[in-house]
Amino acid sequence: MSFFNSIGRKFNQDAKRKGGKAPPLPNMPGSAGSFGGPSGAETPGSSTSSVVSRPIPGGIARPLFMCKPYINAHLLKGNFKTIVVLPKHVDKAEWIALNTFEFYEFIKLFYNTCREFCEKKCPTMSAGPGTDYYWLGADRKPRPLPAYTYIEYVLTWINNRLTDETVFPIRNSHSVTAGQTQIIASPHGMQDGQTWLGKETGFPYNFFSNCQAIFKQMFRIFAHIYHTHYVNMVHLSLEAHLNSFFAHFISFSREFELLDARDLEPLQPLIAAFDEKNIFQGVKNAPA
């Protein structure tokens, strides 16, 4: 059984015990190509948000996720190398695209477990003491948003990317071989003298940078959940699932260089603790 399947089984079991399905995502603003405020009037550029540092008050308590026994709670023993490494005979861009989609689906599940608390109690998109994430509007000015709104925007923005066939192609408009996945050929792929990840399988020249932007935003949801809603995860007995999912996410992002060291700062102590336990053993080194 895959790691993603093991998490899915847990959420399905919890939903049955509660007599229903996991709560759906709310109606979200924006549409493909138009996104930002409730009217959909803003469109993000290459970067949809910014990090705003604020003074750190003295006497900050150790976060719950760094305390025992929670920091040791995991579903899997050993490291994640075997489930993130590129399989033989699989195109690298296809592998990154598949995992990007699955990480997105499961980060939605985790967020849905604490969405009600987030809507009521999170006036800012906080990632712990000293860090808030602001949304960049069409005028490129950072704006503070409630975490609930910020995450709505992020999930909509990611969904629009994943369902845009010019970014994540699924069909071939030129030649189709029976039994094979159909791929849309990128117009840039027709140009000579250029190369990029996924060119041969029809992915656009900016595919990798789009994946990096998506991973950055998914990490910010992780950071908010850990710093603000970890107690909710503990009450739901999901701390081992969250820790394992996060370790899987970091392992994959390291293996394929999808996140910068600066992106990881809000959860760097947790990542370092996982490193000490050799959870990332065999995966590429941490980004510089």
| Whether the predicted model's global pTM rises above the 0.85 cut | no
pLDDT in tens, 57-84: 555 678 999 999 999 998 877 778 889 9
Cα-Cα-Cα-Cα dihedral sign, residues 249, 272, 77, 93: positive
What pLDDT score does 62 carry? 85
Per the annotation, binding residues for Zn(2+) are: 118, 122, 224, 229
* Predicted local confidence at residue 25, as pLDDT: 32
Q: Could you say which of 3.20.20.120, 1.20.140.30, 3.30.1330.120, 1.10.287.610 is the CATH number of the domain covering 89-231?
A: 1.20.140.30
Question: Binding site: what residues are annotated?
Answer: 118, 122, 224, 229
Query: Does residue 25 or residue 90 have the better pLDDT?
Result: 90
Q: Three-state SS across 19-81?
A: CCCCCCCCCCCCECCECCCCCCCCCCCCCCEEEEECCCCCCCCCCHHHCCCHHHCCCCCCCCH
The model's confidence at residue 287, banded by pLDDT at 50, 70 and 90, is low
